[in-house]
Amino acid sequence: MNLEFEQSKTDVLILGAGGAGLFAALHASNLGPDLDITIAVKGLLGKCGCTRMVQGGYNAAMANEDSIERHFMDTIEGGKWLNNQDLAWTLVNEAPRRIRELENELGCFFDRNPDGSLHQKAFAGQTFDRTVHKGDLTGIEIINRLAEQVWSRGINRLEDHRAVEFIKSKDGSGLAGVLMIDMRTGKFRLVQAKAVLLATGGGPTMYTYHTPSGDKSCDGMAMSLRAGMPLRDMEMVQFHPTGLVAGPGTRITGTIIEEGLRGYGGYLLGGDKERFMHKYDAKVERATRDIVSRGMFSEMRNGNVGPNGGLFITMKHLDPKEVRSRFKGMVDRCRDCGFDLVSGDVEVVPTAHYMMGGVEFQNDCSTELPGLYAAGEDTGGVHGANRLGGNGVANSTVFGGIAGDAIAKWVPKEGVFREPDLDAAKAAIAAALYPFQIEGGHMPDIRKKLYGAMWEDAGILRDAKSLARARVAVDELHSELMRTGVADESRAYNLSWHDWLNLESQIIISKVVIEAAVVRKDSRGAHFREDFPEIHDLENSRFTKASLDNGKITITSEHVEFTRVRPGETLIDD
């Protein structure tokens, strides 16, 4: 087995080119113009990742009638009091400043009212219409402007490079670099860096219906776990209520029909073409994502479904001109799939969308591993048990910018090139090349089985029996994967090999989701236990922490620190 690898150095290595990664690169470049900064991305910069796919918008308290405190309380109550309150406070405080930065410094054009003020639309679960947007294609506007800035500044890029493993220093004192695969050649590269930012995004792509970009497979979380980093709140997987159902055999199924449709007044209908959300929450379609998804899943389980097993969203009772104007991207997408969003019914299904859990990190985005920073969906704590729609891209850009600033200040003072543990690098290469040593197996079967096990038994509705089934099924799939090889010996753009590596990461993180869900014996936000349907003891709320010890996943829990407000209190003046 050839364990050779190339080596290179850069002051700052950023893993991921979404909102978090690109903002970090720009901020680090501004504050440290002499720093050598490199962005490594699994695909092409500006063309991959989930930020580009953001439709709805960006929450920020910009209006005179709104307030930072009100946004904070919506975020904490939406998160069912599991949030790290200091992180949530940072999010809501920095969001308005980041919006101004996006517009005034980076060139984004967001929609405006006739008087010139920012137009902010309604999103579910919030007490004020605070979602800044560019039609329903907000993410494209943000990523296009960020990518232009990165290109113009000559920041280094490693495109088509997949991160495989964090390589610690030989003395164990911190992070030395990251082992990567150049997907174009199949060769390995160890990139040493004084500081590394983990911003690969999460992406619950282990479910039958899911929204994230096709390059997402939880690699960053899996790498962190293997490096000894704890992951918090991993049972909290958010399902977006309205994923498009375009029929069998198409990858468009599961992609989002944006939340603003329900915020604007869209109705959800069962297979019988009658509204049903009044049975589940007084806010009906504008309830939080977890509540709407559970209501929809219950209707589906009871057989009240459309021709492809989904439900329907309809806007036909609303002004057709306004629907076309406000939701042009959604109207076009539905038309391309044979649906009429303006005057018809569009079949939808709850779809796995976002992971509230992830690596534990501090307000400056540092982690417990010296030299490693983290921002965006790879991290846990900001959203608690449930992310408000519109808080996701805010999370990425706010903490991406903070990470860039922190790294630029830290590297000149404390950053060093640590001597890498080359034996660990060679062991990681051997592990990555493992599937070339095996013959037989069929990865599409494994993927399909993983989808089914997680969707049916560890998804929107869970209980002890379903989680036990999921645990057995995923363990068996892991064993099956280890008996499955890659037939093509060429490593250059070997998509079967990368599919195998994707599945390995997805299976590891699926196991963590299951084990954390087993431990949490109450229902909070996105985690709903049918055998424990109530929220227990908010005053003594605990969050879960997952660790990997000698190959075994261990789940512990810790008390949530109510640093700013306690259950039953509010920061909002009446």
Question: Which residues carry out catalysis?
Answer: 240, 262
Beta bridge partners of 121: 131
Report phi then psi at 16, rounded to 5. 115, 145
Phi, psi of 187 (to 5 degrees): -85, 155
Q: Residue-wise over 199-227: b if at least 16 C-beta within 10 A, else e?
A: bbbbbbbbbbbbbbbebbbbbbbbbbbbb
Phi then psi dihedrals of residue 254, to 5 deg: 105, -20
Can you list the positions of beta strands (E) in 226-294?
231-232, 237-244, 267-269
Cβ-contact 454, 207 below 8 angstroms: yes
Distances in Å between the Cα of 262 and the Cα atoms of 137, 275, 287 are 16, 13, 9
Q: In this structure, what token pair is assigned to residue 518? A: 């087993």
> Cβ of 231: how many Cβ atoms within 10 Å?
28
CB 507 within 8 A of CB 450: yes
- Bridge partners for 552 per DSSP: 549
- Cα–Cα dist 241/467, whole Å: 22
* C-alpha span between 36 and 286 (Å, rounded): 46
Distance in angstroms (rounded) separating the CA atoms of residues 352 and 373: 26
| Nearest of 244, 222, 468, 516 to residue 353 by alpha carbon | 244
CB contact set of 210 (below 8 Å; sequence gap of 6+): 203, 204, 243, 254, 351, 352, 353
CA distance 441 to 183: 23
The answer to whether 559 and 545 are in contact (CB under 8 A) is no
- Both tokens of residue 561? 């620190």
